[in-house]
Amino acid sequence: MFDPDRFVDEAVKDLKEQIKGKALIACSGGVDSTVCAVLANRALGENLYALHVNTGLLRKGESEEVKKLFEQLGIKLYYLDESGRFFEALKGVVDPEEKRKIIGELFIRIFEEFAERHGIEYLIQGTIAPDWIESGDELRETIKSHHNVGGLPENIKLKIVEPLRDLYKDEVRKVAQYLNLPISERQPFPGPGFAIRVVGEVTREKVEIVREACSIVEEEIEKASESGKMERPWQYFAVLIPVKTVGVHGDKRAYGYTIAIRAIDSVDAMSGSFSRVPYDVLDRIATRISNEMGDKVTRVVYDITNKPPATIEWE
Amino acid sequence: MVTRIFVIDNGGQWTHREWRVLKYLGVDARIFPNNTPFDKLVEEGVDGLVLSGGAPRIGLKEELGRCAEYLDRADFPILGICAGHQFIARHFGGEVQPAEVPEFGKVEIIIDAKHPIFKGLPKKSIAWASHNDEVTIVPQDFVILAHSESCRVEAMAHKERAIVGLQFHPEVEHTEYGAQIFENFIEMCKE
């Protein structure tokens, strides 16, 4: 079985051996990058620079939570708001692979700028097994280019170090539990954020809508699981489908977007079955989304495909 | 001595999962690309081989790295999964064709014949599959071990040699008795 104690010892030792000098770690606040940051902090101490980039594509209140978390961990966190650059780069882009690559490259450029200012040579990434498996290689098909692997540009000035490469999420969670991290059970959130939960072109308006809808899905599903109505799924979120349909709101015609609810059970993200969310929970989510979002959303649907044939995220 | 089982990587999405399941079961597991020479595997002390799945369409293609060489020369057990299974069928004179009904995701496996690989499994169980092609004609030296509603050959085994093919994926978390199947394969490798 997987032994987190041994893994931590070996990973810290490896990081010490591999990294001579300063290293940067980009922290989203998720399980993978936070575990990496704690390991790297043990290995490198003051030579570690933790950076949180606000892409404008993050969950509600995310950046504030990351700041709090790192204060709790006692790791100094640098913060950059780069949302303007991300929206600018994504303008007019529809293809999901292109979106992922644009975001992967922009992240790297921002890291390089930061690294140059601080004389940093290494970049530590929280890449886990599904990221490189699905990104493809000489032998493997590309299913989707994860921003931190398949989305990387060819010319990178930083040396990349990936201590979690051979682990799956359930193993990373075990390491997080072993390290007593409060975020060990957080649901996964993709690096490209809401850019891949808005199907098609990404705009600030659409991201606002899906962010709000996602927060309602999270709230309601967490409430229902805490009260014992259902098991908390592996992942649960909203996707904006850029298809407008007709509704009737207070005797008036409404014409708004479609929101898909996705809730899926998995252990390692490599296979999954859609969650049997009780109808009354779905009902409450649909009602809240339509009421709270006015005529921006006129229809809510539930995704009932497993992985395979579908993937967890829509893009 | 610890059992050494190597996973031959044919580029599958779940190759690394096969490695993980074997590792969890206490085996010395390693992944090798499918162009690794047979002698290299012997040099490394191989006790058993898993031929992973992968995107290549075996129904349409004749080769799968050096898998033919492994099948011809091995005196240890071989477990082929998905594309690995299809390649075994084709290599020993069977046939692989695009499936009339491809299977993606959940399938019910029904066991038809007894074999060490299915020791301890009930007649029916849930497994995860993901394939466009399937074995349509089983080679002469093989017997069918299991089927599903839309796939006649979910599992097959060589009549004399320790070679087994599975169309479904025992390494996937969602396959009910996946770990049991790997344990059974490890037992075969120890003998």
Q: Each residue of B82-136: pLDDT tens digit?
A: 999 999 999 999 999 999 999 999 999 999 999 999 999 999 999 999 999 999 9
* pLDDT on residue A148: 86
Q: Which of B34, B105, B173 sits opposite A309 (nearest CB)?
A: B105
Q: Name the residue among B15, B16, B130 with its Cβ closest to that of A308.
A: B130
Report d(CA A38, CA A35) in Å as an integer.
Answer: 5
**Interval A85-141: pLDDT, tens:** 999 999 999 999 999 999 999 999 999 999 999 999 999 999 999 999 988 888 888
AA identity, residue A8: V
Q: pLDDT value at position B60? A: 67
Q: Which among A139, A266, A307 has CB closest to B33? A: A139
* pLDDT number for residue A282: 98
Q: Which residue has the tokens 């044919």?
A: B10
Domain boundaries, chain B: 4-190
CATH class of B4-190: alpha beta
All residues of chain A having their beta carbon less than 8 Å from the beta carbon of residue B128 are 271, 308
Q: Identify whether B171 is a catalytic site residue.
A: yes
pLDDT for res B1? 78
CA dist B113 and B134 (Å) reads 19
- Ordered alpha helix ranges (H), chain A: 4-18, 31-44, 62-73, 83-90, 96-118, 129-135, 169-178, 204-226, 279-292
Quick one: pLDDT at residue A153? Answer: 87
Helix (H, G, I), strand (E, B) or coil at B67: helix
**Beta carbons within 10 angstroms of residue A233's beta carbon:** 21
Q: For position A41, what pLDDT does the model report? A: 97
CA distance between the termini of chain B: 13
**A residues 197-226 near B, CB within 8 Å?**
none
- Identify the pLDDT of residue B182: 98
The pLDDT of A58-71, averaged and rounded, is 95
- Cα B169–Cα B160–Cα B140 angle in degrees, nearest 5: 80
Alpha-carbon distance of B109 to A47, in angstroms, equals 54
Low-confidence ranges of chain B (pLDDT < 70): 59-60
In which element (H, E) is residue A78 found? strand A77-81
User: If residue B72 lies in a helix (H) or strand (E), which one and from where to where?
Assistant: helix B67-73
Question: From the candidates B128, B168, B175, B176, which should be mutated to test the interface with A, based on the most A CB atoms within 10 A?
Answer: B128
Q: What is the mean pLDDT of residues A157-168?
A: 95
pLDDT at B25: 95
Q: Which segments within B26-94 are labelled E, that is strand?
A: 28-33, 48-51, 78-81
Cβ under 8 Å to B: A residues 131-190: 133-134, 139-141, 143, 166, 168
| B132-163 CB burial, b ≥16 within 10 A, e <16 | ebbbbebbeebeebbbbeebbbbbbbbeebbb
Residue A306 near chain B (CB below 8 Å): yes
Q: Is there a catalytic annotation at residue B82?
A: yes
* Sign of torsion over alpha carbons A31, A36, A42, A44: negative
Average pLDDT score over residue span A37-51: 97
State the residue for tokens 């098991």: A231
Task: Identify the pLDDT of residue B92.
Answer: 97
Query: Alpha-carbon distance A33 to A29, whole Å?
Result: 7
User: What mean pLDDT comes out for the span A56-60?
Assistant: 95
* Backbone dihedral angles phi then psi of residue A121, each to the nearest 5 degrees: -110, -25
One-letter amino acid for residue B115 of the chain: H
Nearest chain B residue (CA) to A131: B13
Residue B78: C-alpha distances to residues A58, A79, B7, B62 (Å): 47, 53, 10, 19
* CA–CA dist A167, A133 (Å, integer): 12
For the segment A176-193, the average pLDDT, to the nearest whole number, is: 94
- From the CA of B18, how many Å to the nearest CA of chain A? 12
Residue B168's CB is within 10 A of a number of other CB atoms, namely 28
- State the best of B174, B175, B176, B183 to mutate against chain A, taking most chain A CBs within 10 Å: B174
Residues 249-278 of A with CB under 8 A from B: 266-268, 270-273
d(CA A303, CA A282): 11
Q: How far is A286 from chain B (nearest CA, A)?
A: 28
Strands A159-161 and A122-124: parallel
Among residues B82, B115, B154, B183, which one is catalytic?
B82
Average pLDDT over residues A278-282: 98
Residue A18: CB atoms within 10 Å: 14
Average pLDDT, chain B: 95
Q: Which of B13, B20, B128 sits opposite A143 (nearest CB)?
A: B13
CB within 8 Å: A141 and B104: no
pLDDT at B98: 93
Spatial neighbors of A163 by CB under 8 A, at least 6 apart, are A11, A14, A15, A36, A39, A40, A124
What are the residues whose beta carbons fall under 8 Å from the beta carbon of B106, sequence distance 6 or more?
A273, A306, B126, B127, B128, B174
Q: What is the mean pLDDT of residues A33-38?
A: 97
Question: What are residue B4's DSSP bridge partners?
Answer: B28
